[in-house]
Each structure stands twice: as structure tokens, then as C-alpha cells.
Amino acid sequence: MMRIGIYDSDMLMLSEMENLLLQLGSEEKILMDIDVFNTKSDFLSHMNEDVFDLVYLSIDQPNEDIVELAGRAKKRNPHIVIIYVTEDESEWKMLLEEAHMFRLITKPIDQALFRKCLVNVYHTLREKKYYFEYKYRRKICRIIFNDILFFESSGRYIIIHTKEESTKMIGTLNTIECQIKYYEAGFFRIHQSYLVNEKYIKNIERTSILLFNGTQLPISKKRYQILKEIL
């Protein structure tokens, strides 16, 4: 599923882009979840709690506002795709790098170009996922792989430990390990109950590992030998 955000102060344009995305999603068989925002504060507030794959930003706003929005979105998810929508593209050529631009679309919207951009983004994102996605209490949740320290098995639950907090889901570590290996996300099973992000391993001892945040976790003898060869 693609998580898409649209920001534009023009409510009619918001509605047009949302309806066009829903239409194209149905025609192209692309599952998507769309949120629309017509104020900067609403967009920033929602972005702090969510991970978008793709955002459409109207640049018919003061330069500094759009650059800030793009920067905040990129900081939240370094792999986010940003498409700008504007009535005049000439003044934005100088901001291509600073504003993290993937593509620029002019108003009125050319539906053929809009479709081409969406399909391009969709296939680009499918090549490699940068986040772990799961369901909990009928809610779809996402966590960027780079933010996850380790997964811990606890009964019928999996506890996901991140740099900021810990959350839980129903599942098994075996299932998660298979899913993560498919995406080549760089995690290693150190123990029956722990699956660790390799980038956060600081020290490896014969019976335990130490993470950069000070957390110490047990490691089995067999997995110790394998991990020493890999790292």
C-alpha cells in the first residue's frame, strides 16, 4: 500500500488530485491510502505521526514554507518521493536540489503526465521497501527500518524497540525474519527471542551483544559464530 499526502491551500485542487489518484489507483491496481491537507500546521502535525511514501506539495506558497515542508518530510523518511504542483515552474528550477524534488507538475494538471509520474513512483517504491509495515488493532502501522533497534518475542506478541519508543504487535519472530530478509533490511537473529538491526551492534561477546544505546542482549553460541563472520 502506498501512503500518499497532498498539501495545497486550494480545496478544489486538493479534491481534484485526490479523485484523480483514486481513479488511477483503481485503473492501475495500486492500493493507496490518501490524506489531504490545506494548512501547513495540519500537514506537519500529521507527518510527525505517519510515514508517507509520496507527497504532492503545492509550491504556490512562500519559498521558505515549501522548503521547510520538504525538509521535514525528508527527515521523517529519507526515501520519501516529493512531487511539486505549481502554476509557474520557472522560479523553482533553482530549488531542485534544496527542495528534494522528484518531479514537477504544472496546473492545470495534465492527467497523462500525472498517471505516468504515479506509476513511476509506484514501481520505484516496489523495488525496495524502507519500512516495516504491520497491523495492530485494525490499524496499519509503519516504522522505518533504520529506526528499529531490535524485535523481541514475548509470548504471542512482538515488541518493536525503536530509537524513541517501544511498541507491540501480534505475530512471530520467524514470520518477521522471513519478511525482513526478503527486503534485505540488514537484521540478524541473535537468539530465539531477538532479531537485531546490525547497524546498532557496538560490541559482540561470546554470550551477549551490546547496542550503541547501551542495551545488552543474549546471543546463542551458534549465532555468535555466524555473526562474527558476517560483521
Contact 30, 118 (CB under 8 A): yes
Q: Nearest CA to 122 among 24, 15, 221?
A: 24
Q: Alpha-carbon torsion 143, 146, 148, 151, what sign?
A: positive
Query: pTM of the prediction?
Result: 0.63
127 backbone dihedrals φ, ψ, rounded to 5°: -65, -35
Q: How many CB atoms lie within 10 A of CB 104?
A: 18
Q: pLDDT tens digit string along 86-134?
A: 887 765 665 665 667 788 888 899 999 999 999 999 887 766 667 888 8
Residue 45: the pLDDT is: 84
Q: List the strands of the sheet with 194-197, edge to edge.
A: 166-170, 157-162, 148-154, 194-197, 187-191
Q: Is the peptide bond before 108 cis (omega within 30 degrees of 0)?
A: yes
Between strands 208-211 and 201-204, the pairing is: antiparallel
Distance CA 55, CA 57 (A): 6
- The pLDDT of residue 80 is 87
What residues pair up with 142 in beta bridges, in sequence order?
133
- Identify the pLDDT of residue 127: 63
pLDDT for 61 equals: 59
Which one has a higher pLDDT value, 102 or 13?
13
Q: Are strands 208-211 and 2-7 parallel, antiparallel or unpaired?
A: unpaired
Contacts of 182 by beta carbon, 8 Å cutoff, 6+ apart: none
Q: Which pLDDT score is estimated for 20?
A: 96
**N-terminal to C-terminal alpha carbon distance within the chain:** 33
Question: Which tops the pLDDT comparison, 57 or 184?
Answer: 57
Question: Residue 166 has which C-alpha cell?
Answer: 517501544
